[in-house]
């Protein structure tokens, strides 16, 4: 046997991994998997978004339930969905044995609180009478609300993002720390500060239209002019009004879908995201929560939104949690994707992240980077597909046979938060910066062109666009079809005006 195989054969699972195996649990894998070796040194491997860490033998926690729960909180993080699954299976006496052996220990107090939080059952333990209050989640490891709720029973400061109906977690990864340090909100304000209010006003009209068309195009929909105008009108309200309320969400759905597909409440049937690949054959991409679970999940979403809104949570984290979780719940029959992207705008604007008087066409960045957008959705959907047991009848109606609620209720949205930060970064760098620069250059170009030939604005727009499409020159074909009235000298001077304003853009495109 190779030396590597001998070393691996001495490794034992620890923390969540042990308990998942011991109780034969169906769960979404935790981002961190622990093992302890009887020989060798500590090492870390990473594959498919999961970090596998092997610890030296001195880290072995012991064999009891409490030993591995404490190890899990220390080294694997706080995974509410897995803890909920464990608590449904364990004998209460085994947990009590651990808790009574460490009545004031910080990990025991956290597990005690989380057991009662997740199960709704009170353990036969007296309230603590002394000791410092401790945070439930370490604020330097997780995004949390502030101020936290003080819980006298375990002397815990509950700083979770939600409540038992919906409680997401977002870890402070290196990627997210770097984005926070980059101060994207400040960067976008500095970009906007370089332009006049009039130019920003004109840019806003374009950005609204760009976002609307991109959001529909992601779903391969070509909206009518009426639906486009309706969606733009909603975007204009995003800075002022909170849409994360049940009546407003229903109103939102009614205004953006074809009037024949308006809903007047959350859906009452099982839906899914899929595609027909042949006669009576569906390829299923994502299974949504069961309709009987939906009302409570949506109440949890709205409560978590209010908690983060007043809880000093990063606006981008807030927008990622609500925007992505909404689309995973799919509460309506139609329009869920567009509402998901709208809610991101709504939260970023209301929380003051977006510069006043501007908006980010984030859907344009999602549309330009479809693999990244799909990956942000699949980071959750692929796990649901591995766990949900379902059947389809001959008319394509789905029935989900197992209990799936906890997998939607206690979700780690770290990958989606990282993705949203990346889309915002790209939007500021490309969509916002380039559009403002384009408009400023247009103003520089229009006046000298008018001094050469006093043409209507429509023709000036066309001339500039045709030149930009052809490295700053008007092609012979476009001249013949649209500008045959220009002399050679006039055309040369007008081309020079375009090159003078857009020279850097044209050379960069080359």
Share the mean pLDDT of the chain: 90
Flag whether 142 is in a domain: no
The answer on 354 and 281 residing in a single domain is yes
The answer on 278 and 321 residing in a single domain is yes
| Strand ranges, E, within 243-383 | 272-278, 281-287
CA distance linking residue 271 with residue 293, whole number of Å: 13
Specify whether the CB–CB gap between 372 and 335 falls below 8 A.
no
The answer on 375 and 274 residing in a single domain is yes
Judged on CB neighbours under 10 Å (0-12, 13-18, 19+), 405 is middle
Q: pLDDT tens digits for 308-318?
A: 999 999 999 99
The answer on 383 and 466 residing in a single domain is no
The pLDDT-based confidence of 1 (bands split at 50, 70, 90) is: very low
**CA 89 vs CA 28, 86, 440: distances in Å:** 16, 5, 64
The answer on 283 and 368 residing in a single domain is yes
Tell me, what's the pLDDT at 510? 45
Mean pLDDT of 311-328: 96
Tell me, what's the pLDDT at 506? 63
SS3 call for 33: strand
Nearest in space to 219 (alpha carbons), one of 294, 381, 346, 327: 327
The answer on 229 and 330 residing in a single domain is yes
Residues 100, 103, 108, 113: is their CA dihedral positive or negative?
positive
Specify whether the CB–CB gap between 224 and 232 falls below 8 A.
no
Flag whether 447 is in a domain: no
Domains identified in the chain, total number: 3
The answer on 186 and 116 residing in a single domain is no
Tell me, what's the pLDDT at 452? 93
Q: Which residues, 6 or more positions from 11, have their beta carbon under 8 angstroms from its beta carbon?
A: 35, 36, 37, 54
Mean pLDDT of 353-381: 90
284 pLDDT above the threshold of 50? yes
**CA 121 vs CA 163, 341, 349: distances in Å:** 15, 37, 40
Tell me, what's the pLDDT at 6? 45
The answer on 94 and 7 residing in a single domain is yes
CA angle 136, 140, 142 (to 5 degrees): 60
Q: What are phi and psi of 254, to 5 degrees?
A: -65, -30
Flag whether 270 is in a domain: yes
The answer on 347 and 229 residing in a single domain is yes
116 pLDDT above the threshold of 50? yes
Mean pLDDT of 442-451: 87
Flag whether 252 is in a domain: yes
483 vs 43, higher pLDDT: 483
Q: pLDDT tens digits for 42-56?
A: 777 777 778 999 999
Tell me, what's the pLDDT at 239? 82
Tell me, what's the pLDDT at 14? 96
User: Considering only 98-112, 146-160, 212-226, 238-252, which range has the smallest mean pLDDT?
Assistant: 212-226
The answer on 257 and 208 residing in a single domain is yes
CA distance linking residue 394 with residue 471, whole number of Å: 56
Tell me, what's the pLDDT at 202? 80
Tell me, what's the pLDDT at 423? 95
Label each residue of 433-457 as H, E or C: HHHHHHHHHHHHHHHHHHHHCCCCH
As given in the structure block, the two tokens for residue 357 are 């008087």
Q: pLDDT tens digits for 117-145?
A: 999 999 999 999 988 999 999 999 999 99
The pLDDT-based confidence of 280 (bands split at 50, 70, 90) is: low
Mean pLDDT of 363-381: 92
The pLDDT-based confidence of 212 (bands split at 50, 70, 90) is: confident
CA distance linking residue 317 with residue 304, whole number of Å: 12
The answer on 340 and 262 residing in a single domain is yes
Mean pLDDT of 70-86: 97
CA distance linking residue 263 with residue 265, whole number of Å: 6
Mean pLDDT of 317-344: 94
CA distance linking residue 111 with residue 83, whole number of Å: 9
Nearest in space to 376 (alpha carbons), one of 444, 320, 322: 320
CA distance linking residue 200 with residue 106, whole number of Å: 52
The pLDDT-based confidence of 258 (bands split at 50, 70, 90) is: confident
Mean pLDDT of 199-219: 84
CA distance linking residue 469 with residue 483, whole number of Å: 16
The pLDDT-based confidence of 505 (bands split at 50, 70, 90) is: low
User: Considering only 44-53, 122-131, 172-181, 285-294, which range has the smallest mean pLDDT?
Assistant: 44-53
**Residue showing tokens 């990282």:** 418
Flag whether 291 is in a domain: yes
Range of the domain at 417: 174-430
Nearest in space to 276 (alpha carbons), one of 284, 286, 268: 284
The answer on 478 and 383 residing in a single domain is no
CA distance linking residue 105 with residue 132, whole number of Å: 11
Q: Name the pairing type of β-strands 32-37 and 50-55.
A: parallel
The pLDDT-based confidence of 257 (bands split at 50, 70, 90) is: confident
- The CATH number for 377's domain is 1.10.3290.10
């Amino acid at each position: 046997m190779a030396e590597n195989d001998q070393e691996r054969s001495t490794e034992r699972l620890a923390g969540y991994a042990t308990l998942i195996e011991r109780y034969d649990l169906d769960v979404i894998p935790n981002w961190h998997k622990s093992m302890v070796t009887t020989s060798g040194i500590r090492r870390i491997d990473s594959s498919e978004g999961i970090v596998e860490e092997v610890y030296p033998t001195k880290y072995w926690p012991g064999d009891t339930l409490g030993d591995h729960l404490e190890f899990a909180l220390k080294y694997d993080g706080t995974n509410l969905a897995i803890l909920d699954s464990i608590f449904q299976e364990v004998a209460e006496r085994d947990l009590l044995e651990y808790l009574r052996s460490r009545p004031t220990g910080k990990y025991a107090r956290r597990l005690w609180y989380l057991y009662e939080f997740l199960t709704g059952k009170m353990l036969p333990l007296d309230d603590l009478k002394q000791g410092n209050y401790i945070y439930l989640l370490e604020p330097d490891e997780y995004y949390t609300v502030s101020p936290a709720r003080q819980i006298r029973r375990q002397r815990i400061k509950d700083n979770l993002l939600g409540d038992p109906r919906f409680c997401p977690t977002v870890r402070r990864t290196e990627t997210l720390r770097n984005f926070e340090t980059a101060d994207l909100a400040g960067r976008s304000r500095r970009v906007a500060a370089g332009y006049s209010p009039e130019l920003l006003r004109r840019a806003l009209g374009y950005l609204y239209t760009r976002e609307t068309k991109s959001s529909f195009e992601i779903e391969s929909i070509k909206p009518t002019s009426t639906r486009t105008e309706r969606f733009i009108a909603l975007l204009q309200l995003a800075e002022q009004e909170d849409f994360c309320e049940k009546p407003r969400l229903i109103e939102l759905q009614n205004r953006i879908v074809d009037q024949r597909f308006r809903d007047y409440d959350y859906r009452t049937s099982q839906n899914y995201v899929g595609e027909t690949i042949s006669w009576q054959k569906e390829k299923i991409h994502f299974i949504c929560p069961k309709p009987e679970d939906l009302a409570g999940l949506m109440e949890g979403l709205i409560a978590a939104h209010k908690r983060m809104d007043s809880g000093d949570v990063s606006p981008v984290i807030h927008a990622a949690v609500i925007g992505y979780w909404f689309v995973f719940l799919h509460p309506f029959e139609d329009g869920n994707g567009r509402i998901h992207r709208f809610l991101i705008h709504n939260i970023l604007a209301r929380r003051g992240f977006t510069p006043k008087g501007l908006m980010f066409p984030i859907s344009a960045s999602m549309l330009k980077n479809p693999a990244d957008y799909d990956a942000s959705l699949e980071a959750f959907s692929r796990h649901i597909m591995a766990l949900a047991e379902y059947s389809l009848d001959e008319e394509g109606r789905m029935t989900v046979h197992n209990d799936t609620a906890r997998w939607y209720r206690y979700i780690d949205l770290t990958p989606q938060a990282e993705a949203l930060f990346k889309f915002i970064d790209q939007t500021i760098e490309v969509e916002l910066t380039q559009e403002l620069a384009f408009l400023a250059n247009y103003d520089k170009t229009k006046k000298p062109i008018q001094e050469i030939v006093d043409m209507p604005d429509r023709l000036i727009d066309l001339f500039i666009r045709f030149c930009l499409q052809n490295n700053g020159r008007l092609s012979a074909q476009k001249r013949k079809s649209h500008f045959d009235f220009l002399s050679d000298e006039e055309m040369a001077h007008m081309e020079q005006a375009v090159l003078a304003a857009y020279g850097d853009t044209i050379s960069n495109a080359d």
